[in-house]
Amino acid sequence: MPHTFDLLVVGDANPDIVLGPLDGPLAFGQREQLVPTGLLTLGGSAAIVACGAARLGLKVAFAGRIGDDDAGRYVRGALEARGVDTDALRLDPELPTPLTTVVTRADDRAILTSPGTLATTDVTDVPEALVAASRHVHVASYFLLPALATALPTLWDTARRHGATTSLDTNDDPSGTWRTGALTEALARTDFLLPNAQEALALAGDEATDLDGAAALLARLGPLVVVKNGAAGALAHDGASVVRTGGTPARPKDTVGAGDSFDAGFIAATLRGLGTERALEVAAACGSLSTRAHGGTPAQATWDEALAALTRNGKNQS
C-alpha cells in the first residue's frame, strides 16, 4: 500500500522565546538585563524536525499534544504554515501548551521549559493508521515525555509491523539519570539514534572514555548511532565501524535547533536512498544552514540549498 506520509514525527511542540546573546551571567535580584535579540518562534525538538523535513521536500505529519490556549493555536498554525499535517495534534482538556525560553550566550545556551502537555502525551496519541501510512517514524525529547517513553517499545513494534523505519533523538535529560530500562528496550528496536556529542557520552555512561567509544557502546544496543558534534562535524557508528564527516562552515547567528535540522537532513537523505556517508554530509549542511537566523525554523534549508552548500564545501553532489 502506498504511504501517505514520508515522515511521522512524535513529540514536543511549543513556542520558543529566544533571547540573547547574554554577555555575562544570568542575574537574579530583580535585575533587568538587555540583550540585542529577541524572537518568538516555533520550538520543541520534534516540531523543528518536522518543519525541517517539510522544508526539505518530505510529506510530514505530526502527533502530540497542545493545550486549548493561545500558545497551542500558535503552534498548530506555525506547523501548518510550514506544510506539516496536524490532524493528530491533540488538544489536552486540562494542561497548557508547553513553553520554553532559551537564553543564548556565545556558543552556549540555557533552556527553561514548562512541560505542560508533555506530561500526558502518550502512545495513544499516535493513531496506528497514521503509523501505517508513514515510511519513517521519528520521536524527539524522550526524557520530556515520560508516558510516551515508557511505551516507546510498543510504538516501535507497531512501526516495524507496518514496514516503517524509526529514529530517536533523546535530547537532554533534566533529571540527569539518562538510562532507563524502557530506553534500552526501545534502542533494540530503533534504526537510528541521533544524539549530540554531550548526550551520547551521557547515554553511554561511565564505560565510555571518548566519543567514538560512546557511539560504539550505544550501537551495540541496536541502532546506527549518528552523533552531532557541532562545527567538528558528525559521525555514524554501527557497532563495528565508524563513518565521519566534517562540519559545514558557517557564521552562526545562533545554534538553537541546529541539531534538529541535522536530524531532518539525515532522515530526508536516508529516505531518498542515500548511503550513510552522504546522509551525514547532507545532515551537517542542514544543521549549519539553520544557524543563519535566530530560532530553530526560520532559516532551515531546502534540499537544493543543502546540496549547494556541499558543493561550496568541495563535496560533489550525488
pLDDT at res. 317: 57
Query: Does residue 107 have a pLDDT over 90?
Result: no
How does residue 179 score in pLDDT terms, banded at 50, 70 and 90? confident
| 29 domain residue, yes or no | no
292: domain range? Answer: 5-23+36-312
pLDDT at res. 231: 85
pLDDT average, residue stretch 50-74: 98
pLDDT at res. 109: 85
| 65 domain residue, yes or no | yes
Query: Does residue 168 have a pLDDT over 60?
Result: yes
CATH number at residue 182: 3.40.1190.20
* pTM of the entire predicted model: 0.94
Q: Phi/psi of residue 120, each to 5°?
A: -110, -5
Q: How far is CA 204 from CA 132, 200, 212, 219, in A?
A: 32, 6, 11, 10
pLDDT average, residue stretch 292-316: 88
Query: Does residue 2 have a pLDDT over 90?
Result: no
pLDDT average, residue stretch 183-190: 96
d(CA 58, CA 78): 17
Cβ-based neighbours of 177, under 8 Å, separated by 6 or more = none
pLDDT at res. 34: 94
Q: In this predicted model, which residue has the larger pLDDT, 3 or 125?
A: 125
Q: Phi/psi of residue 291, each to 5°?
A: -85, 5
d(CA 151, CA 182): 8
How does residue 105 score in pLDDT terms, banded at 50, 70 and 90? confident
How does residue 79 score in pLDDT terms, banded at 50, 70 and 90? very high
| 282 domain residue, yes or no | yes
| 31 domain residue, yes or no | no
| 30 domain residue, yes or no | no
Q: In this predicted model, which residue has the larger pLDDT, 231 or 229?
A: 229
| 258 domain residue, yes or no | yes
Domain count, the chain: 1
| Residue type present at position 56 | L
pLDDT at res. 1: 54
| 28 domain residue, yes or no | no
pLDDT at res. 207: 85
